[in-house]
A and B are shown apart, each in its own frame.
Chain A
Amino acid sequence: MALESTTAELPRLRIAVDIGGTFTDLAAFDEAAGELRFGKALSTHDKLVNGIQNTLDGAGVAFRDAHLFLHGSTIAINTLLERTGARTALLVTEGFRDIYEIGRVNRPDAYNLFFRKHVPLVDRSSRHEVHERLLASGAVHKSLDEDHLRSVVRSLKPKGVEAVAILLLHSYRNPAHEVRVKQIVEEELPGVFVSASHELSQEYREFERVSTVAANAYIGPRVATYLGELSEHLDRHGFGGAFFVVQSTGGLFPVEHAQRDCVRMLESGPAAGVIGTQAICEGLGLTEAIAFDMGGTTAKAGVIYEGKPLTTGSALLGGYEQALPIQIPMTDIHEVGTGGGSIARLAQGNALRVGPQSAGSMPGPVCYGRGGTEPTVTDANLILGRLDPEHFLGGEMRLDLPAAERAMREKIADPLGMDLLSAADGVLRIAVTTMSYAVKAVTTERGLDVGGFTMAVYGGAGPLHASAIAREIGIRRVLIPYSPGYFSAYGMLFSDLRYDYVRSCFRRLGTVDFAELEALYAAMEGEGTAAVEGSSVRPESIVLERAADMRYVGQEHAVTVELPRELFEQGDREAIKRHFDAQHAIRYGTSAPGEPAELVSLRTTVTGVMRKPPRHTVPAGGAEPDPEALSRRKPVYFGELLDTPVYERDRLKAGNRIAGPALIEERASTTVLAPGDALEVDSAGNLLIAIGSDAR
C-alpha cells in the first residue's frame, strides 16, 4: 500500500494545517515514531503560506519528510464575507437577469423599516442574459443562441472580468446548455475562472443555485491562486506526497479539485473538528456524539449519529436577514454568536443581554488591557476564578483582574443591584444557555435525545463551559480531547477522501423503476470511484453509500434517508418506506405510514478510506494524579467560592481520576470541573467527564 512507508528514509509524516482567523494550527503524525506534534503560529493574512511555514518550523517538522499534506483554510469564507473576491460576471437564462438580486423577497426583520436584504456578489451591470431555455422536463424550449452568446462574452474581455458564473434554468435536469456555454466562455476568455451551476448543485431553486455558483466564481481566482502558490511552496520544500484539501463535509479532495470547486471548502475547519470528534469517539466505541467548538466570537455544534457526522444540503452564510445561500452538501453545523469576547450589557428596562456583539481580539475583553471597556464572557470567567491572571496562555499574557471587576461592577452588577460574583455568574449562565441552543438545534430539534450523547468540547474557550452546557441540556458525558486548541488540524489527520453527489429524481416510490434508480446511482458511484482512484493516494478501500431525499406525496420538504444498498437490489419498496417513515417520525415526532411516499433526490457518497494514524498514548499512572500535577489551590466560584485544586494537564497520566470541583489548565485552554463531576484521563490523554448527578 502506498501509505505504508514507515522506514526512516521514506517520508513518514502526515501533516495537517488549519488556518483560522487568528491562528494557524498544525498537527503532524509521525508514523515511524507513532507520535503527534502540534504547532501554532499567528495567521499571516497578507501571505498565508508564511503562517503555514511558521507552524512547521515551530513544530520542527519539514515538508520533505511528509507523504501527505492536509489543509483547511478560512480563505474561501473570508473572501466571501469580506467581499474581496474577483471581478465576476454572471451569465443567466434570458428573463432572469435579476433573480440573484431579487432573491426570495422575504423580510424577516419584519418591523424594522431599516431592514436591508442580501447584496449580490455580482453587480447588475455584470449580469448578462443568455438566449436559451429549457423546460422543467429538461427538454429544449429554445435552443442556445451561440452567436449572441459569443458577442456577450467578448464584451466581457475589455471589462477585465476575472471569473464567470453560469446559471441556466433547469440545468439540474439537463446540463447540456450550461456545458456548452462554459466551453464557449473558456474559448473566448482563456485564463478566466469559469463555473457552471450544475457542477456544484443539481437541485432546483434557481436563486439558491445562482448564489452558489456566483460565490464559487467570486472566490475562485483568489482561492485557486492561493492553493497554487501553496503547491509551489510545497514543491520548493521538497514535498513529494499528496496534497488534499478539506471540504465542508469533512472529507478530503485533491488540491486540483479544490481549485475548481472552491465553494466546497467554505467550512473546512469546523467540519474537520467534527471529523476529529468522530475519530476519537470511534476509538472509545461511542456512536452518538456532539462536537462543540467555542472560540472568541462564536460557538458551533455538529453531531455524530450512528457513527457518522450528520450533513445538510445547504447553508445560509452571513446571517439570516442578508444571507447568501450555498446549496451543496456540508456538515450540519449550527453556530451562535457567543464566544469568549461576547459583551454583556444592559438593554432598556435593565434587561441583561450577552452577545452577539463581541469585543473580538481587538480591543478584546477588559482584562486583556488593550482598551476594552465592556465586560465580556472572558472577564466573567476571570472574576469567578476560572481563568487566572498569572496563568493565561501559559503565563505569557497577564490578565487585569481589577479592571474586569470594575467593568462588571459598574456596567452590570450595580445597576442590577447584584453582587459582583452573582453578576459574573449570571453572564456565564446566559452565555451557556445561548450556546445550549446551538447544541439543541442539531440534536433535539432533529428529534435526537441528547441523553445518550457524549459531548466533545474544544476550541480555546469551550472547556471552560463544557460542564455547564452539559448540565443545561441534560448531557451526562463530556470529553475534552487531547490538545483542544489544535483540534481542527488534529481532526484532518483522520479525514477520508470523499465525493458527494445529488441528483434530482422525482418519482413515486410505489411505481418507480428500480432499473432507472440503479442507473442513476451507478453513474454517480462510477464518477466518484473514478475520482477516488484517480487521486495520487491509494485508499485502503472504497465505500459507496446511498441515500434518498424522500417525502410524503404532496409535501415539499424532504428528509434524507440513508438506505442500505441491498434494498435497491431487492427492489424492496416496503422496506424503503419503513426507513422513511421512521426518519420522519424521528425528525418531526410524527409519521404517516398509510400515506404514499415519493423520491425527490438521490444522494451518493463515495469515500476513499484512508489509513488512519494509530492512536497515540500518554504514560499510564494511578487513580491519584502525581503530586506535581497539582499546580496550586485557589477559590473558584460555583454558586459560592470553593477551595479548588488546579492541575496541569501536561502532567496528568492515563488512569488519573479527579473529582470536581477542579480546574485543569493547559496552554491554550482551561477545563472547569464542577462539583459533582468526575473526570478520568484515558490512554490517549483525553479527559472523560461524568457530569454530576445533580444534572437533569
Chain B
Amino acid sequence: MNVNVKTAQAKAAPAVDPVTVEIVRRGLLSVTEEMKTNLMRTAYNLIIYEALDFTVGLFTKEGETLSIGLGLPMFIRGMSETVRAKIRHFGYENIHPGDILVTNDAYTTGSHLNHFTFTMPVFHDGELIGFTCCMAHWLDVGGTLGTVTTDIYSEGIQIPIVKYQRRGEINQELVDIIAMNVRLPEKALGDLRAQIVAVTTGERRYLELVNRYGWQAVHDSFRVIMDQSEALARANTLNIPDGVYEAESFMDDDGLDVGEPVPIRVRIEKRGEEMTIDLSDVSRQVRGFYNSGVTTGIACAQVAFKCLAAPTDYPVNEGSFRPLKVIMPMGTVVSAERPAPMRVWMTYPMTVIDTIFKAMAKAIPDRVAAGHHADLVFPNIHGINPADGKFYIVGIGPLGGGWGAKATEDGVSATVCINDGDTHNSPSEQLEAKFPVLVERYVLREDSGGAGRNRGGLGCEMVVQALAPFQLTTRIDRVHCKPWGLEDGGEAAGNGIGLRRDGKWETEYPNAKVFNVRLKAGDAYMMRSGGGGGFGRATERDPQLVARDVREGYVSRQVALDSYRVVIEGDGTVDAGATQALRARTDIAPTAVAVVADDTGPQLDMTPG
C-alpha cells in the first residue's frame, strides 16, 4: 500500500477569513480535549483512567483527520483508516443519525484486539458533516492469557465492523456477545459506556462549533488549517539536505524463536519539499505476537515525519502528512496480514521510528535524538485477589525510561517511549490499595544513560513483590539492541527483567520475555527500562557536568573515570589537572560505552545518601 499525496497548489484557497480559521482551529482542539477528559473521568480500567491508553479524534466526512487529541501517537493513521473502513463497509447511504459504529478488527485498526474503536457520525441539518471517534484499550478481550499467541484467533473476540447503536437504539445482542467473551465484563462494559460518553461529547461540541460559525465557514476553515499544516511541514522539509539516508537496527526476537534477531531497515529519500520513507526492508511478519497492521506501518513514517517537520503543530491533522510518501508493502512486521498474531503490536514500530531518526541524524543531527528505550516496559499480572476472592488482571506500567541525548542537551530520564504520548504510570499507593502487590522500589538506574558530550536520560527500575500468588507475563524487547548513541556518543543500558523466587534473584535471561510465570507470596519481579543514547564524545563533556552527575547519583565515579575520563576528588569536585592529563592520554583505547555495573539484581536495603 503506497500512500501518496496530492500536490497542494492546484486548489483555490477557500474564501474564509483568517480570523475564523484560527477560531475554528482552537475549537477543534477543544472538542478533542473534552472528549479525552470525559473518557478518562468515566472509565473503569486503570489503563484508561490512570494510564490514559486511548486516542480520540474528529474526522471529516471522508475520514480525514481533523484533530487527534493527546493520546497514542502510533494511532494517528489507524484511527482515520478505521473511520474510512467503516464508511466503505456501510456506504454513506446506510449511516444514519444516532448510529454508532464499532470494530476491534486488528487488521483494520492496525493494532490489537484490545482497541475497541467507536465512531459516531455527526449530522447537521440532515447532512453528514464528519465523525467523532474513540479508541480505548480494553483490559481483556478474551483469548489465551499470558502466553505467546501465534494467530489472531487465540487473541480474543473479534468484532467486525458493525453497529453498536442503530438510530439511537443499542444493539443489545452485540453487547451480550461481547460480555460473554471477555473476562471482566462489568469493567469492559463500563469502559464501553465511557467511550460512548467520549464520542457523544465530541458530537455535541462539534455541532456547537458548526452552529456558532456556520457549516460553510467551518468546512472552509478545515481546508485552510490543513493547508497551513502542509505549508509548515513543507518548509521544514525543504531545509533538510537532499539525499538518501539509510539505517538499520534489530529487535531481540519474536518471543518464539528466542535469540533470533528481527531486522529493521529503513530508507529515506529527501528531495525538495518532499520526503519518501521506504519501509520495504523491515522484517517480514513474525510468528510471535509482535506484528502490527499496515496502518501502523504508515503511522511509523508519519510519526517520525511529524517529529522532524511539524512537532508542535496542532491539531494533529492530515495536512501535515501531505509532503510525505510512504512505501509500505504488505506482509512485513508492521503491515502484517491475517491471521498474524498482533497482541503486542506497539513494540516494534517504536524501534522503526527510532531507526528513522538514526538515519536522519546524518542529515540533520541537531533535529533528532539518539536512541531511546523504545518499550512500554509494562508487565501484566493476573490472579485471585484475596481481598474479594475475585479474578483480576492488571498491567503495572509503563515504567518510563531514558530518551536519547541531542546535539544541544541531555536526554530526558524516566519518560514514556514514543508510542505513548500522554500515557501515565500507575501510582504505587493506588496499585497496593487495589491489588495484592507491594512495590519495593521504583528508582532511577544509575549509569543507564549513554555517555556523551550530552548524556542520555536514565532508565528506571521497579521491584514488585507478590503478597498473594499471581502469574506474570512480560513481553519486553530491546535488551540486546541497546539504545544507540549519535556522533560517537555511547550506547545506553538496554531493557531487562529479573525474578526473585524463594529469596534468590535471577537476572540472566536470553531476552526479557517470560510468560505466565507463577510467583508465590514473597516472590518478586523486577523491571528495568533502558536509558537513552549519548550524543557526541563523552570525553568532551564538561567535567563540571560530570561531577554534578556523580554528586546526584546519575553517573558512578567509575563511569566518570572510564567513559568520561573525569577524575573526581573525595569531596565530589573535579580534579582539573588529573582530568586534563587523563583526557590527553592516547594509550587507553577511547571507550564511549557506558559501563552498567549493576547486573546482579537489586540490593533491597538501599542506604540513603
Interface residues of A (CB under 8 A from B): 94-99, 101-117, 123-125, 128-131, 133, 135-136, 141, 152, 155, 169-170, 172, 204-208, 347-354, 416, 418, 422, 425-427, 429-430, 433-434, 437, 440, 445, 506, 552, 554-557, 587-590, 592, 696
Contact = CB atoms under 8 A, between A and B. Distances in A.
Given A95-B440, A170-B429, A107 B414 contact: no
A429 B23 CA distance: 8
B303 interface: yes
A108 B422 contact: yes
Given A114-B406, A556-B46, A557-B49, A107 B422 contact: yes
A554 B303 CA distance: 34
A122 to B, nearest CB: 11
Given A106-B421, A352-B22, 5 more contacts: A108-B422, A113-B357, A113-B369, A552-B44, A588-B197
B307 A112 contact: yes
Nearest to A445: B34
B421 A107 contact: yes
Contacts of B421: 106-108, 110
B553 A125 contact: yes
Interface in B438-478: 438-444, 460, 463
19 contacts: A95-B606, A96-B428, A97-B606, A102-B414, A106-B415, A107-B415, A110-B422, A111-B73, A111-B303, A111-B306, A111-B316, A124-B553, A129-B607, A129-B608, A205-B427, A206-B427, A422-B17, A445-B37, A555-B42
Interface in B1-60: 17-19, 21-23, 25-27, 30, 34, 37-38, 40-44, 46, 49-50, 52
Nearest to A209: B429
Nearest to A207: B427
A354 B227 CA distance: 19
A113 B367 contact: yes
Given A125-B553, A351-B21, A554-B187, A111 B412 contact: no
Contacts of A141: 438
Contacts of A103: 414
A201 B422 CA distance: 25
Interface in B73-127: 73
Nearest to B50: A556
Nearest to A437: B30
B73 A589 contact: no
Given A106-B416, A124-B554, A349-B227, A554 B608 contact: no
Contacts of A418: 17-18
Kindly list the 7 A-B residue pairs having the minimum CB-CB distance in the complex, ordered from nearest: A105-B400, A95-B441, A349-B228, A426-B19, A110-B421, A349-B231, A348-B232
B450 to A, nearest CB: 16
Contacts of A555: 42-44, 49, 190
A108 to B, nearest CB: 4
Contacts of B232: 347-349
B420 A107 contact: yes
B200 interface: yes
B312 A112 contact: yes
A105 B553 contact: no
A105 B398 contact: yes
Contact of A105 (B357, B425, B443): B425
A193 B289 CA distance: 54
Nearest to B367: A113
Contact-residue bracket for chain B: 35 or more
A130 B609 CA distance: 11
B424 A348 contact: no
A135 B197 CA distance: 36
Contact of B460 (A102, A113, A353): A102
Interface string B308-332: 0011100010000000000000000
B442 A204 contact: no
Contacts of A94: 441, 605-606
B493 interface: no
B186 interface: yes
Contacts of B25: 351
Contact of A592 (B193, B312, B398, B442): B193
B235 interface: yes
A106 B424 contact: yes
Contacts of A112: 307, 311-312
A106 B26 contact: no
A425 B19 CA distance: 9
A452 to B, nearest CB: 17
B568 interface: no
Given A96-B428, A105-B399, A349-B228, A588 B42 contact: yes
A110 to B, nearest CB: 4
Nearest to A417: B18
Residue of A94, A103, A106 with highest tally of chain B CB at under 10 A: A106
A99 B19 contact: no
B61 interface: no
Contacts of A107: 415-416, 420-422
A144 to B, nearest CB: 14
A352 B23 CA distance: 10
Residue of B42, B229, B422 with highest tally of chain A CB at under 10 A: B42
Contacts of B42: 555, 557, 588, 590
A353 B21 CA distance: 10
B335 interface: no
B368 interface: yes
Contact of A590 (B49, B193, B422, B444): B193
A377 to B, nearest CB: 14
Contacts of B26: 430, 433-434, 437
B432 interface: yes
A136 B38 contact: no
A426 B22 CA distance: 10
Contacts of A135: 432, 438
Contacts of B424: 104-106
Residue of B19, B235, B367 with highest tally of chain A CB at under 10 A: B19
Contacts of B227: 349
Contacts of B295: none
Given A107-B420, A112-B312, A557 B41 contact: yes
Given A95-B440, A110-B70, A555-B42, A136 B429 contact: yes
